[in-house]
Amino acid sequence: MSLILYAYNRNKRNPLSFGPVSTGGVLELTQIVSRAFDIGLSSLTDPQAAGPRAAVPTQTSENRNSSARSFYIETFGCQMNVHDSEKVAGVLLERGYRPVDAAADADFLLYNTCSIREKAAQKVFQRLNDFKFAAKANQKVIGVLGCVAQQEGEEIFERAPWVSLVCGSPSYRNLPNLIEQVESGGRRVTGLDLDTDETFETEITRRDNPFRAYLTIIEGCDYSCSYCVVPHTRGPERSRASDSILAEVRRLADAGYTEIQLLGQTVNSYRDPSPRKWNFVDLLLAVAEIEGIRRVRFTTSHPNDFTREIVEAIDATPALCDHIHLPVQSGSTRILREMRRTYAREQYLEKISWIHGARRQFSLTTDVIVGFPGETEADFEATLTLLDAIQSDGVFAFKYSPRPNTPSLAMPDAIPEEEKSRRLAILNERQRQIQIARNEKLIGARFEVLVDTHHTARNQWAGRTTSNRIVNFSTSRENLLGQYVQVHITRSAPNSLIGEEVQGGEAQ
Ligand code: SAM
Ligand code: SF4
């Protein structure tokens, strides 16, 4: 039987002002995750706070044995990394470890890393120095997990000889065995297999977010975008069997979760490995039917696998959230070809026309890379006009970062850093104007909001609509965390909406 636990991570302290929006400068996904996760400590210490019923840790090895070895996991990167850490924490709990709130207090310190851009990877090596002396004095055991682990491999031991474990995500299924080796004094323990067709499933998952449960349905990636390390760090695509997914969603619903977010690098290329052979839409519809589940989200969709059936399924099924994150990367077909994205500008726009033509008012967000090698002013302008055409509610825009083992590393005509920064600033400003105009049109509208934050100082509540918009609102009611409420929008900002609860309009 699986157990679901959650824990509040005190490191995640930023206010929940995050939205699927463009931001100035390079947006680190670590920030996104941190902000997306802030739920306010009061929400968990308040006995009235509504949260999943199984959120109260009861009889686990965690609280049975307070003298157990302690662990702390610091996570960098995307939601998939966040969820991997939740499962790794489950593996440690199963082995009798106890979680602590600060790296300094942990016997076993794990860094779950991201190498999508150079900056993210560098940060990990800086962090590894923090507890160098403690590790050398055998007061701590340090492990590196995730994309940097897979990418740098045993080189990490050369750069940081005090590290004991290096394990990439394709090897997580072997973690219990690898941890056992570390516990018996093993040094330089590695899990660096890439060749796998298995997914990482755990008996216990220690969920950090009490309102939205992440669930990976597909791991790895079979695309080969010329700028991207993921196929090299996460291995080949492998989908999880539909039975196992549905069983976990049922357990989550029983535990009180009402919102599920299905995860995968290319989530919509899901192919059920079981004899049922479900496609992504079959799975979506089955998850949406599970009793107690009110919202089903998914990310990230690849445009090549994005079908009209997905839009039709969302249109016909209220529990499927009307938000699509569909990374375009560039508006120039020439650059898309160089990026090996497998679609042209016009094909992307055709898919967006399905979304614009839907009955429900979908929210759309996308990712863009500026300054890819050889990107001309005309290519960049094509990206700007694409943003005008698609009218998205948020853009995660990144400066191109050359990465090891990727084909684009050898491409000529690198764009200077200052020029990348200039283009990023122009793009972010253009998108900000789009969002200001779009959000203004929502004044007067009414949205159902799942409340996930209470800003105690200003007594304001916040949550998300089914379209993933952030709504800050006031109300005379109390104890709203985890509840669905109706909010009337009175003001707008580029990244969020502001309103008041519709009294008597509570949604159950
Ligand atoms: N699988 C998703 C897709 O196909 O769009 C993207 C996953 S990737 C982890 C998240 C985002 O990071 C990408 O959409 C891209 O915008 C950005 N990214 C990936 N490699 C990058 C690089 N070398 N430089 C800058 N941004 C990059
Ligand atoms: Fe990277 Fe492309 Fe795979 Fe997305 S689809 S993870 S960008 S290789």
Apex 43 CA angle, 49 and 15, nearest 5:
145
Q: Is 302 in the pocket of ligand 1 (CB under 6 A)?
A: yes
For the chain, 508 residues long, the average pLDDT of each consecutive 10-residue run is 38 27 27 26 27 35 56 94 95 94 95 93 90 89 96 95 96 93 92 89 88 95 97 95 97 96 98 97 98 98 98 98 98 98 98 97 97 98 98 98 95 97 98 98 98 94 98 96 97 98 70
Query: pLDDT value at position 43?
Result: 26
DSSP code of residue 414: P
Q: Is 230 in the pocket of ligand 1 (CB under 6 A)?
A: yes
Q: Strand 446-455 to strand 460-464: parallel, antiparallel, or no bridges (unpaired)? A: antiparallel
Probe residue for ligand 1, chosen from 218, 228, 403 as the CB with the greatest number of ligand atoms within 8 Å: 228
Query: pLDDT value at position 51?
Result: 35
**Helices (H) and strands (E) in the chain — how many of each?**
17, 21
Q: What Cα–Cα distance (Å) separates residue 145 from each residue in 191, 211, 252, 382, 468?
A: 9, 26, 26, 38, 30
CA 338 – ligand 2 centroid, Å: 14
CA 334 – ligand 2 centroid, Å: 18
Distance separating alpha carbons of residues 277 and 425, to the nearest angstrom: 45
Distance separating alpha carbons of residues 217 and 262, to the nearest angstrom: 6
Given the CA of residue 229, which atom of ligand 2 is nearest to it?
Answer: 1
Among protein residues, the one with the nearest Cα to ligand 1's atom 5 is: 327
Among protein residues, the one with the nearest Cα to ligand 1's atom 18 is: 116
3-state secondary structure of 72: strand
188 class by beta-carbon count within 10 Å (0-12 exposed, 13-18 middle, 19+ buried): middle
Among protein residues, the one with the nearest Cα to ligand 2's atom 4 is: 265
Probe residue for ligand 1, chosen from 367, 368, 395, 400 as the CB with the greatest number of ligand atoms within 8 Å: 367
* Contact by Cβ (8 Å): 248, 262: no
Query: pLDDT value at position 224?
Result: 97
212: number of Cβ within 10 Å: 21
Q: Is 27 in the pocket of ligand 1 (CB under 6 A)?
A: no
Residue 386: closest CA among 413, 347, 439, 425: 347
Q: Is 369 in the pocket of ligand 1 (CB under 6 A)?
A: yes
Q: What Cα–Cα distance (Å) separates residue 425 from each residue in 83, 112, 217, 362, 370?
A: 31, 30, 35, 27, 10
Q: Is 231 in the pocket of ligand 1 (CB under 6 A)?
A: no
Query: pLDDT value at position 290?
Result: 98
Residue 89: closest CA among 218, 185, 179, 21: 179
CA 506 – ligand 2 centroid, Å: 41
Probe residue for ligand 1, chosen from 398, 401, 424, 427 as the CB with the greatest number of ligand atoms within 8 Å: 398
Return the ligand number nearest the Cα of 327.
1
Return the ligand number nearest the Cα of 405.
1
Q: Is 117 in the pocket of ligand 1 (CB under 6 A)?
A: yes
DSSP code of residue 170: G
- Ligand 2 environment, Cβ below 6 A: 221, 223, 225, 228, 230-231, 265-266, 302
Helix axes 79-94, 29-37, angle to 10 degrees: 60
169: number of Cβ within 10 Å: 26
Residue 424: closest CA among 396, 457, 459: 396
Which amino acid is residue 467, in one-letter code? S
Q: Is 266 in the pocket of ligand 1 (CB under 6 A)?
A: yes
CA 213 – ligand 1 centroid, Å: 23
Given the CA of residue 231, which atom of ligand 2 is nearest to it?
Answer: 8
* Contact by Cβ (8 Å): 239, 270: yes
Probe residue for ligand 2, chosen from 265, 299, 372 as the CB with the greatest number of ligand atoms within 8 Å: 265
* Contact by Cβ (8 Å): 317, 292: no
Given the CA of residue 302, which atom of ligand 1 is nearest to it?
Answer: 4
* Contact by Cβ (8 Å): 393, 363: yes
Strand partners, 109: 72, 142
CA 300 – ligand 1 centroid, Å: 10
Query: pLDDT value at position 203?
Result: 85
